[in-house]
Structure 1
Amino acid sequence: MSKAVVELLAKDLNHQGGVFCPSPVAGMQTWNTHPKVYLDVGRAGEAKCPYCGTVYKLKDGEHFDGHH
């Protein structure tokens, strides 16, 4: 199980403030990982994948404003 932390820029999030795991941003290939799940990073500034434990978080100083 991965304990990776993926730091994101606000522009990496979709217009709702989320990302999907597995993610190309994290260097994952979808064929050998778990089902795709949506993670809401914009609301709390970070989110943890329930499948692999990867944490996606905004880099220091990054803020999601919901208007991309």
Structure 2
Amino acid sequence: MSKSSIELLAKDLNLQGGVYCPSPLADMKIWSGHPKVYLDVARTGEAKCPYCGTVYKLKEGEHFAAH
């Protein structure tokens, strides 16, 4: 299990303000990981994957503005 923390820029988030895990941003192979899960990072600035424990968080000073 991964227990890493991935720092994101606002441009790394999708249009809804989230990311999917497993993620190439975390140097994970999509095909060899757990089921794909959507994580809403924009709401609080970070989100933790319930499968692998990876934390995705916005870099300090980054802000997400919905398009």
Give the TM-score range, shorter chain.
over 0.9
Structure 2 unaligned segments of length 5 or more: list them: none
Larger helix percent: 1
By how many angstroms is 1:66 displaced? 1.1
Structure 1 moving runs of 4+ over 6 Å: none
Aligned to 1:20: 20
What is the count of residue pairs matched by the alignment? 67
* Cα deviations by residue, 1:6-49 (Å, 9 ceiling, x for unpaired): 00000000011000000011100012210100000000000000
RMSD, aligned α-carbons: 0.6
Distance 1:12 1:37 in 2: 16
Q: What TM-score does the superposition give when structure 2 sets the normalisation length? A: 0.96
Task: Name the aligned partner's letter for residue 21 of structure 1.
Answer: C
By how many angstroms is 1:64 displaced? 0.7
Task: Name the aligned partner's letter for residue 7 of structure 2.
Answer: E
Distance 2:31 2:15 in 1: 26
Aligned to 2:30: 30
Q: What TM-score does the superposition give when structure 1 sets the normalisation length? A: 0.94
